[in-house]
């Protein structure tokens, strides 16, 4: 399993970005996939998850109403549309499929339970 996140960059407060995560080695159609982020000096935080069954979505309270997760099964890619960005959203964003999703969001089903982490993409929100 490989996960490649992209789409990060520098954006002003209030701006938008769309992150992408291309998956290989397994099919997104049936399994949960989501996003975590790690800011300097802070613990890793779950951001969002989309389930592999009915496409239910889950969000951290800190991003609810501003971020939207979606999935393109044909492209085997998951997206995170981020709007109304704040400086506190600055972090490296990772996509993952594994037990961290069920532990954080109750999101499933899991592919094999292993936490596969992509390389991450840096989002910087600053004026």
Cβ neighbours of residue 111 under 8 Å, at least 6 residues apart? 1, 26, 31, 32, 97, 98
Q: What is the pLDDT of residue 115?
A: 86
> Tell me: the pLDDT tens digits for 12-49?
999 999 999 999 988 888 999 999 999 999 999 999 99
Res 79 pLDDT > 90: yes
Q: What is the pLDDT of residue 127?
A: 95
Q: What is the pLDDT of residue 26?
A: 85
Res 53 pLDDT > 90: no
Angle at 96 (CA atoms; ends 112, 22), nearest 5 degrees: 105
d(CA 5, CA 24): 12
Beta-carbon count within 10 A of 109 CB: 13
> Tell me: the pLDDT tens digits for 81-126?
999 999 999 999 999 998 999 999 999 898 888 888 878 999 999 9
Q: Which residues pair with 11 in a beta bridge?
A: 125
Helix (H, G, I), strand (E, B) or coil at 125: strand
């Amino acid at each position: 399993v490989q996960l490649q996140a992209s789409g990060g960059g520098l954006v002003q407060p209030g701006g938008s970005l769309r992150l992408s995560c291309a998956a290989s080695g397994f099919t997104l159609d049936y399994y949960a996939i989501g996003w975590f982020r790690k800011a300097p000096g802070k613990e890793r935080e779950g951001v969002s998850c989309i389930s592999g069954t009915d496409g239910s979505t889950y969000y951290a309270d800190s991003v609810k109403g501003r971020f939207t997760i979606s999935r393109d099964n044909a492209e085997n890619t998951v997206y995170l549309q981020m709007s109304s960005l704040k400086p506190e959203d600055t972090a490296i964003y990772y996509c993952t499929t594994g037990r961290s999703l069920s532990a954080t969001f109750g999101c499933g089903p899991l592919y094999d339970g292993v936490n596969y982490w992509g390389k991450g993409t840096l989002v910087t929100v600053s004026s």
